[in-house]
Structures are given as structure tokens and as C-alpha cells.
Amino acid sequence: MSWAAWWFDGVLVGSLIVLAWGSVMARDPFTGIVRYVIFGLLAALTWARLWAPDLALAEAAIGAGLTGALLLSTLGRMGLSRSSGHAGEALVPVPPRLTGRKPLPLGFPELVLTLALAAGVAIGAAVMHLGAARSPGLGTAVVALLPQSGIESEVAAVLLDFRAYDTLLEMAVLLTAVLAIWCLGVIRFRRSPWRVDPVLASLARALVPFLLLIAAWLLQAGLHGPGGAFQAGAILGAAGVLWTLADRRALRLGERRSARVGLVLGLGTFAIGAFLPTLVGRPLLTWAPGSAPAWAWGIELAIAVSVGLSLTALFMGGLAEVPHIDEEEP
Amino acid sequence: MVTWVAAALIAAGGAFFTAGLVGLLRFPDVYARIHAVTKADTLGLGLVALGVALVQPSPVHSARVLLVWILAALASGAAGHLLCRAAWLEEVEAGKRDTS
């Protein structure tokens, strides 16, 4: 590996450590969230450097994008946004050690940065050393079993065949989370939710079709290589968030029967596919020989739709109590 | 030859990124900083994208890179506007160095 790559990786890992520390120790929540989002972006870059494009995509879309949006919307609802000047008085308890701390001695941040960079280079070197030992992990086992599954992509084969049980339960967790949030109450708005900036609305109109296209592409790509249902679902979720921000009619999503069907589609399809074999006396979650790719395709599509809708619903943070459009303010 | 032109474009893009960064750190108020970042970075990304597009193996790849720039430019312009609007609605005054 060239010196430039070493340098880049060292800075990357060092920045990750500094950002992780800064995100947890930030005095006001807004700063912490912003640092967390940057941390997510750099983590995605790290996965890309480790030749794990699937993880890089998921981290960028969910870790940096949607989690950041969720945290910021939560912060906004807590009335804690920094610009309103209430950052200190708090629903979030700030440890007294942090609020009353003395200014750091000169050179302290530089020292932390240097130590973090050194730690980053050391960890990088250790990982490279491990890599040199050529630990095969489960990769070779998966590749060996791939023909038995019939699914082309290793990642898709693992998620939907070899460990389908985990994926099934992950879908159940996601659905449960949405239902739990819906049980907690309705969203209320301080200001009229109908005032949407026209620039934002235009941006949403321009970007949402692209996001849908990218999601569809990722979905079909997932059967052959990097991509797949969760990445496509995350992009759909991003489209949903943008739509929610730009067109407040989206807040009525939870009332729509089609949306509710879409929310359970992933878990439903998966569960039906999982239990069908038991009717003919085969164990749970065993696809009939040769049918795995077809199931994988159907379930991936269903999961993508459900993940996208779930993430949108999570961002909304509840069933909305919005006035009807005819009650709109002039 | 094409490689050199591409390298020059990418370097120029990097210079604009650096200028945007300096603006973000040094400009006095939130409006000026947003102005610096959105304008300089969009142009910087455009130059880098143009440089990268020149050395792609096929026109399809080049078109993809340029599409990334167009989408980023749209998003950056709109984000800059929304941030400024939010600051304006919160009555942040121009010309004063804020604490953030």
C-alpha cells in the first residue's frame, strides 16, 4: 500500500475517534448530532476503503442520513434547537462536570488530536497485520455454499437464505418500532405545518424521482452484487423524509390503507415464505430447491417497500394530528 | 494530455474547496459563511467532477459523474437557501459575529 493510502487511512481512523469522542462529549445536543452525522459519513468512507460497499451504502444512508434526520427532528420537538437559545436549560440532563468545566489548557485539543491520529495509525497497522495473516472468516464457506442456494450475490444469499431467520426477525423489530411509536401519541405542530418553502418543494420534486430510480436500481443490483433491499429501503426512506418535509399531506400517510399494507408487506411476505415449507413437512425457512432466487427477489422487493415506509414513519414520529387542507391558513 | 487537463481541473476544484473552507471558518456571520460554502464548494465539486469525467473509460461513466454534480448542486443551493431562511426567521442579524 502506498504512503498516500496509509496517510489517508490514518487520518480517516483518527478523525473517527475524535468525532466519536466529540459526539458523545458535546455540550449541547445539536453539536453532538452534527458530529455524529459526520462520523457516519466517515464510517461509510471507512467501509468503502475496506472493500465492503454494502456496508458503506447502508452506513451512508442509515447511519449518517436517516439517523441524523431522526435525531434532529427529535431535537426540534424537544424545543432544544440551539438557534432558539434554550440549549442549556434542558430536557437532556447535562452532567455538571461538563457545564461548569474550566477552559481546557492550551494545546490540549492538539494533544488529543495527535494521540487520536497515533491511535488511528496503530489500529490501522494492526488491522493490516491481521489482514496479512489472511484469516478467511466465513467468506470461503459462503462462496462454497453459494451454488446450493442459487442466489448469485453472497450478501443476498446470507441475508435471505443462510441466515434468513435473523432477517425475518429484523423486519419484525422494525414493524414493532413503528407500531410502538404510533401508540405513543400524535404529533402536534407549534406552527402551521402547511407553510412549506417553495425552494424545498421544488427540490423534493426534482430529487424524489431520482431517489426512486436509485432505489429500484439498488434493489435489482442486490441480487448480483452490492445493493439490496435494506439499501434500497433506506433510499426510499430518504425520499419519504424529503417528501414529508416538502409536502405536508405526506403526514397523513399513517391513515392510508395502502401505506399500512406496505408497512407489513416485508414481514408478511417473509413470514408466508417462511411458514409455507412447514405445510409440506419441511423445516421452517427452507426454500424449495431452485426457488431461492425467486423468493429472494420477491422478499427483497417487499422488504424494500416496508423499510422505506417504516423509516418515513419513524421520521414523522407518530400519527399526525394535522388540520385538513381546507382548514389551511391563507 | 487529457490526464493533465483533468489533473489541473481537479486541482482547481480543490483550490475552490479550500477557499470555501476558509470562508466558512473566517467569515463574520452565518449568511456570509453559507454563501462561501455553497458557492465555492459547488463550483469546486463541478471542477473536480469535470476533471474526473474527462478520464472516465466511456461517455456513460462521464455522464454519471456529471449527474452527481448536478444533483449535488441542486441540493447544496436549496440547503443554503433553507439554512439562510431558518437563520432569518430566527432573526439572526447580519454582520455580527455569532457564537456558533
pLDDT digits (tens, 9 = 90+) for A1-30: 688 888 898 899 899 999 999 998 888 888
Q: Which candidate, B42, B50, B40, places its Cα nearest to that of B71? A: B42
Same domain, A154 and A226: yes
Q: How far apart are CA A241 and CA A109, in angstroms?
A: 36
- Please state, in angstroms and rounded to a whole number, the distance separating the CA atoms of residues A59 and A10: 20
pLDDT number for residue A116? 78
Contact B74 A203 (CB under 8 A): yes
Nearest to A265 by CA among A240, A299, A235: A299
Residue A88 has pLDDT above 70, yes or no: no
SS3 A129: helix
Ramachandran area for residue A107 (φ above 0: left; ψ -120 to 50: alpha; else beta) = left
Do A152 and A89 lie in one domain? The reply is no
Boundary (domain end) residue, out of A85, A106, A135: A135
Distance CA(A58)–CA(A163), nearest Å, equals: 18
**Are residue A313 and residue A222 in the same domain, yes or no?**
yes
- CA-based R_g, chain A, Å: 23
Three cell numbers written together for A29: 445536543
HSE-up of B21 (CA within 13 Å, CB side)? 8
- What residues make up the domain containing A214? 140-330
What is the three-class DSSP state of A284?
A: coil
Q: Any idea what the CATH number is for the domain that residue A112 is in?
A: 1.20.120
Let me know whether A51 and A21 are in one domain: yes
Cβ atoms within 10 Å of A297's Cβ, excluding its own: 18
- What is the ipTM, given to two decimal places? 0.79
**Domain definitions of chain B by residue range:** 2-89
Residue of B nearest to A197 (CA): B82
How buried is residue A99: exposed, middle or buried, by Cβ count under 10 Å (0-12/13-18/19+)?
A: exposed
Q: Which of A237, A202, A238, A187 has its CA nearest to residue A77?
A: A187
C-alpha cell belonging to residue A99: 457545564
pLDDT at residue A323, as a whole number: 55
What pLDDT was estimated at residue A91?
Answer: 43
Residues A100 and A179 in one domain: no
Of residues A82, A197, A207, nearest to B74 (C-beta): A207
User: Per CB distance under 8 Å, which residues of B are interface residues toward A?
Assistant: 71, 74-75, 78, 81-82, 85-87, 90, 92, 100
Q: How many domains does chain A have?
A: 2
Report chain B residues whose CB lies below 8 A from the CB of A203.
74-75, 78
The neighbour count for residue A244, using CB atoms within 10 Å, is 21
CB contact under 8 A, A199 and B78: yes
Q: What is the mean pLDDT of chain A?
A: 80
Q: What percent of chain A has pLDDT over 70?
A: 82
